[in-house]
Amino acid sequence: MADRQVASPVESTSTAVKRDVPFFKPDLGEREIDEVVAVLRSGWLTTGPRVKQFERDFAATLGAPYALAVNSATAALHLAVEALGVQPGDGVLVPTMTFAATAEVLHYMGAHPVLVDCDPVTLNMDLTDAEAAIERCARRATTDPAARPTRVVGMIPVHVGGLMMDVGAIRALAERHGLWVVEDAAHAFPAAWRPEAASPWEYCGSGTGTITAFSFYANKTITTGEGGMATTASAALADRMRLMSLHGLTRDAWDRYSGGRSWDYRIVAPGYKYNLTDVAAAIGIHQLGRAEEMRVAREQRALAYLDQLAGVSAVELPPTDANRIHAWHLFPLRLRLDQLSIDRNRFIDELRDAGVGCSVHWRPLHLHPYHQEQLAVTPSEYPVATALFERLVSLPLSSTMSPADVEYVAAVVSDLTRRFRR
């Protein structure tokens, strides 16, 4: 028997046919499949012509001068901070409300993440707290020369959920303190910002940061399965990242094994193994062509959530902004726990029992044992992120969701807030 569509978000889930709604499902079509088959038949599986095409197409889509395809956003971030010359002991501003990769690439370099609290509405880095963190580091350096970090050299803002930060404010902060900016845009393709309605759109990665790192993991708007991209306006930075992405060799595999090219190469730096394969790029080429279509589909699902959950007082909904093109990678709810008789973890258990996939984004970095030990930080230093973490739940959101899926999830959330109202 077919599932009955839920009539409204206030209908009890006890009267609705249970659905299984995964947290995400990749949106893959026949073109992606055919392109992968063509790659397998071509005999060229690793970095080759599809990767080069994907890089060209991605750069053209954003209007970025240079794009480098790699095997993850983590790789893109690591290559970025290495190319920028991060040194042991350097401090770099990092939001505590982020995934592990944003900070761990600094540990690879012997540098120090300087954690920053988050904005209570957007969940993005609080730039006021960022400036205070710079001042704290400067004072500590004068009073205790042995303290680390000795200086703050850059910042890695994260556009949480695909809602871009105020890029103008980021630039102003960076200019005041002589910082470079590496954007962690794992959630933010395609996304854009403008300072006001009369201004032109500026797409994330078109020059919004010194370097911008994107993710093509399976749950992103476009996917290559695993993969990432770095964009920049600097030829020197692009050349360095490309060199270091494949063992520090003077020629990449495409140059060395293409017909008529020399076999010879030189190792000029101890690089990494971060190159993307043609198999992955084959998926990305056609995903890129559908990127705006899939972004709009995610936006439609998000707007439906906003409409159907607008009257549920026990949840706070994610913000929108007329001066942002939102990538809608996530749809994070904030529970008003003072109105509920259960905590966030029990709420998640109830969602999953009802067939609704969900997650939490994220446990802030300062609440992980490693960072507590390495950085000597405490929850009280980041009061906003500490409090928000206990309330966060990300609902399923993807371009593959049906309207009935969205209605069902909204109905489950509404029903839970009624059943467990304090």
Separation between Cα atoms, residue 382 and residue 93, nearest integer Å: 14
Give the pTM: 0.94
273-313 pLDDT, tens digit each:
999 999 999 999 999 999 999 999 999 999 999 999 999 99
For 383-409, what is the mean pLDDT? 98
**What's the full length of the chain, in residues?**
422
CA distance 211 to 191: 16
d(CA 107, CA 101): 10
- What's at 66, amino acid-wise? Y
pLDDT at 256: 57
Q: What pLDDT is attached to residue 189?
A: 98
Which listed residue (25, 52, 220, 273) is catalytic? 220
Note the pLDDT of residue 265.
Answer: 83
Q: What is the mean pLDDT of the chain?
A: 93
Q: pLDDT (tens digit, 9 = 90+) per residue, 188-218?
A: 999 999 999 999 999 999 999 999 999 999 9
pLDDT at 412 (0 to 100) = 98
Nearest CA to 83 among 173, 178, 158, 180?
Answer: 180
The b/e string for 24-42 (b: 16+ C-beta within 10 A; e otherwise) is bbbbbeeebeebbeebeee
How far apart, in whole angstroms, are the C-alpha atoms of residue 70 and residue 281?
10
The single residue listed with the structure tokens 């709604």 is 21
Respond yes or no: is residue 220 known to be catalytic: yes
SS (H, E, C) 353-376: HCCECCECCCCCHHHCHHHHHHHC
Task: Between 138 and 396, name the one with better pLDDT.
Answer: 396
Distance CA 210, CA 204 (A): 11
Task: Count CA atoms within 13 Å of residue 346 on its CB side.
Answer: 9
**Looking at 57-66, 183-192, 250-259, 282-291, which range is the least confident one?**
250-259
* Confidence category of residue 16, pLDDT binned at 50, 70, 90: low
Pairing between β-strand 202-203 and β-strand 211-215 as defined by DSSP bridges? unpaired
Element holding 220 (H helix, E strand): none
Confidence of residue 250 (pLDDT cuts 50, 70, 90): confident
Share of the chain above pLDDT 70, in %: 94
pLDDT score for 2: 35
Helix (H) or strand (E) run with residue 395 in it: strand 392-395
Cα 106 to Cα 96: distance, rounded to the nearest angstrom:
14
Is residue 389 within 8 A of residue 363, CB to CB? The reply is yes
pLDDT band at 15 (very low <50, low <70, confident <90, very high): very low
